[in-house]
Amino acid sequence: MKYRFDYDVVVIGGGIGGFVSAVTANSLGKRVAIVEKRRVGGNCTNFTCIPSKALIRAAHARRDATRLDRMGLGGFFAEGVDTRNVLSRIRSVVHKAYTKDLPETFQEIGIDVLPGSAQFVDRNRIIRECQVVSAEKFIIAVGTRPLVPPINGLADLDYLTNENLYDLDALPKSLTILGGGVDGLEYASAFAGLGVETTVVEMATRLLPMVDRELVNHLLDALRGEGIRLLMGAKAENLSKEGNESVLAYQFGNGQKGKVKSEKVLVSIGRRPDLDGLLIEKAGVKSTPRGIITDETLRTSAQNIYACGDIVGPYQLASTAEYQGMIAGANAALPVKQRVDYRNNVYAIFTEPQIGYLGLSEEEARRKYSHKLKVYRFDYRNMRRAMVDGTETGVAKFLLDGNGRLVGAHILGEAAAEVIHEAQVVKAFKKPLRKLYAVTHAYPTYAQALVGRASQLAYLDRMGDSFFVRKGLALFPGLENRLSLGRERLAETGRPPSIGPIPGQQPPLAVEAFDNDTIWIIRLPETLFDYDEEPLFSRVFPGDTGRGRSLILDFGEVTKMNGLGADMLVKLCARATMKGGSVSAFNLPDGMGDVFKVSELDQAIGLFGTPEEALSAAGIRDRGYTLPGHTGEPVPIDTSRWAKPVVLLSLPNRIEGARNLNVDGRRVVGPINGFGRLWQKIFRLYIKDGMVTPEEAIDALKHNFPSFQPSFNRFFPSPAGIAPGEIVLIDSMTPGGPVSTGVMVLYADDRSFTFACPQGHPESGFVTFSAFENEGDTVVQVLGLARANDPVYEGAFRFVGSKIQTRIWTHLLSSLAAHLGVPANVVLDARCIDGGVRWDQAKNIRYNAQIGTMLGEPIYVLKRLFKSSRGKEANAGR
């Protein structure tokens, strides 16, 4: 039979994507040839996957040898390692893998392998070794080559890439790796494991941005523990030679410079398309500097030419190339086209410890699924298999949507690259993870401790969400918490830390009593930040005694106060009032009067200029103030971090996207003027070992505050952001309907900021976001001190509003934890400060923002529809 073309399909490139596409097309009855300019097997077999994993395996074996004492086999380990044997074995492994893909193996199934470089003549012809080869269809699978940066002096050095690394006789004593991507970190981990002094230089300030932050933070700690030096945010500027060593000069973004010396330099900054000499433009194939452009069927701009593998992307992985090879081969052979779908891709990083992951990171998932997201987190230290193997470094997370389906899985630790595939199957088949609880896992294994245990927890949570199960347990005393206790035991997360006063933040207060202990003068400390009023209150009002006592506060030494200090004063006033007492103050620093006005403290605390005036007002006229160390004149306080007093709030400009309701023209109200019970709620996120400073935590919170909110609670900061006096608008959806309101930034500094509510807001009070150190850890805290604003809101809070509030702030801190890459260890403490309601404030209902929003909602909808129609008309007229 005479054919129009030499072949039906010609595949250019014999790597994993190329030979899979060739085998696929051949299996579908097509006459197929492979053109390969080097060796069949491509980069994966000869230069990347196979040799690098053999190197990593050797490093793993050496690490195991150093840990023999953990197995009770101490006393055996040779410090010297003959790296020549390591490299020799790697070359033998590569050769063994290559023999599985010899040209003869393809010839046996009818695929011709044509050696040499290819050049396109037109869309149906190429030249190879001075011979024209024609085909009806082509598949380009030429792969990539190492990208070598234009660093001054690099070309004069005998630098290494993945293509010549394994030609060395022995590994170097020291190595500088340019690039901290997946390949760079895998090489760093392997070389360090083989005793090579290793430095990684990476221009980016964040390594592995596609991986969950928490896993990356743990990995970097492990790499540093291996002695690897990580220079992040460092730009390589110059390379030179000093004797037998290479010297790299680098510079950080802040201008700081440095040098690192090593025996060898390995370039691992990325890959570039291997299109040199292929002349794809003659075939009408379009490309970018990143590779060939294809559609979802892997067809290029030339209708008869497809492409697959690293030359296409978006992932330069052997697994992706293999998958694309099947799609490209089938589409080149069949009239019905398949589309690529990367939603169920799985990824592995073969460092020590390994990383395996798929789907969304926790940060991405929290943004997408908001408060409905469930996170099951496991620490390798609690896993029985890890205890047996001595591999207790690691963490794993499984992320579920509101329906219990897996949307992300992230494992750092032993066997991560294997175990992640079970999670991949669950995700791909879109089954709720709880369904897997009935599938038994061998014990003890990593799969059982991770995927198996996560499915059991998901099953328990499903039962806990059942109305009938919860009500049924509630009928039996003592059984209400059995599900949560069982879940806690299975999760092995340990008891969360209890919330108490901040250690080291409680200086002793000087006090003096008058008139048979009915009047107390209290010297406040220089810094009035977070202060627990309980010890002081217990001293002044012990038990049921002390009713009617007056507290007089000396502000003479106060130089700093933040929102938490204002909270303390509010609580002191509330508790004194409950005992029939009163609170007054004197010696206020310059500017403190404005702080009292804007926070409404002046409505609860009587203000006097001198101690004599305060004592006289309390009925004491024949005694002076004698506390030791009194300075007399108060020191001016810095009020630049406080909002200025305003009579009514004013929005200078409408904020785009927000309803802009129930804020303009309203007065700021604190806990002093609310209606309902006064509650203090504290939410804390504990960040171990000071991985993040308090300033970094608050900065992240300020800049990402809107995106950290659950989906039903939208925040709209002003263009100036979170700064004193600025207004943040809020559009929220509650079970009772929409609520549009806002808050004013009452106070803001590097470690805290405080919101105050306007009239009509569901709450009348303050919410302070702060961070501080505690025994080497960093604690991020949300402290709400508020009353319900009116009777309607009070009723709503008693039924469901309190739970919604807890959901909001827990989600905020969990989102912050995901952003910072730390575990979301959020704990809550709620305390009722004043259980009484204030009926004199029932009139606040006339400002109720929910009622105002529901009345204004039709107008808001009409305005949006009108604006949308005007925009369509304008676009149509262009």
**Predicted TM-score of the model (pTM):** 0.86
17-32 pLDDT, tens digit per residue, is 999 999 999 999 999 9
Same domain flag for 386 and 440: yes
Contact 422, 454 (CB under 8 A): no
Domain with 796, as residue range(s), is 668-856
Task: Give the CA distances from residue 834 to residues 565, 828, 841, in Å, rounded to whole numbers and listed in that order.
Answer: 18, 19, 15
**pLDDT on residue 543:** 65
Same domain flag for 229 and 311: no
193-248 pLDDT, tens digit per residue, is 999 999 999 999 999 999 999 999 999 999 999 999 999 999 999 999 999 999 99
End-to-end CA distance of the chain: 60
Contact 399, 391 (CB under 8 A): no
- Pick the closest to residue 333 from 106, 4, 113, 9 (CA basis): 9
Contact 716, 731 (CB under 8 A): yes
- Signed CA dihedral, 793, 798, 800, 805: sign only: positive
pLDDT surpassing 60 at residue 631: no
**pLDDT on residue 864:** 58
Contact 788, 774 (CB under 8 A): no
| Least confident span in 150-164, 453-467, 594-608, 838-852 | 453-467
Cα of 714 vs its chain's centroid, Å = 20
Same domain flag for 470 and 375: yes
| Least confident span in 79-88, 100-109, 266-275, 763-772 | 79-88
| Cα atoms in the Cβ-side hemisphere of radius 13 Å centred on 194 | 26
Say if 698 falls within a structural domain.
yes
Beta bridge partners of 510: 523
Same domain flag for 193 and 77: no
pLDDT surpassing 90 at residue 64: no
Same domain flag for 133 and 109: yes
Same domain flag for 602 and 526: yes
Say if 25 falls within a structural domain.
yes
**Rounded Cα gap, residues 175 and 197, in angstroms:** 6
**pLDDT on residue 493:** 67
**pLDDT on residue 728:** 95
**Rounded Cα gap, residues 748 and 726, in angstroms:** 10
241-256 pLDDT, tens digit per residue, is 999 999 999 999 999 9
Both tokens of 170, joined, read 């022995």
> What CATH number should be reported for the domain holding residue 570?
3.30.750.24
Same domain flag for 828 and 762: yes
Q: Which of 237, 271, 305 is the last residue of a domain?
A: 271
Contact 728, 743 (CB under 8 A): yes
Say if 663 falls within a structural domain.
no
**pLDDT on residue 865:** 60
Q: What average pLDDT is seen over the chain?
A: 88
Same domain flag for 412 and 464: yes
Average pLDDT score over residue span 559-580: 89
Q: What percent of the chain has pLDDT over 70?
A: 91
- Signed CA dihedral, 411, 414, 415, 419: sign only: negative
Both tokens of 203, joined, read 């221009």
**Rounded Cα gap, residues 682 and 679, in angstroms:** 10
| Bigger pLDDT: 68 vs 105 | 105
**pLDDT on residue 878:** 47
Say if 198 falls within a structural domain.
yes
Q: What is the CA radius of gyration of the chain?
A: 34
**Rounded Cα gap, residues 536 and 522, in angstroms:** 9
> What CATH number should be reported for the domain holding residue 186?
3.50.50.60
Say if 444 falls within a structural domain.
yes
Contact 404, 370 (CB under 8 A): no
CA angle 201/205/209 to nearest 5° reads 105
Both tokens of 526, joined, read 């220089």
Q: Which of 491, 519, 554 is the last residue of a domain?
A: 491
pLDDT surpassing 50 at residue 606: yes
**Rounded Cα gap, residues 738 and 112, in angstroms:** 69
Both tokens of 650, joined, read 């004013």
Q: In residues, how long is the chain?
A: 878
Same domain flag for 60 and 184: no
**pLDDT on residue 485:** 73
User: How many domains are there within the chain?
Assistant: 5
**Rounded Cα gap, residues 502 and 682, in angstroms:** 12
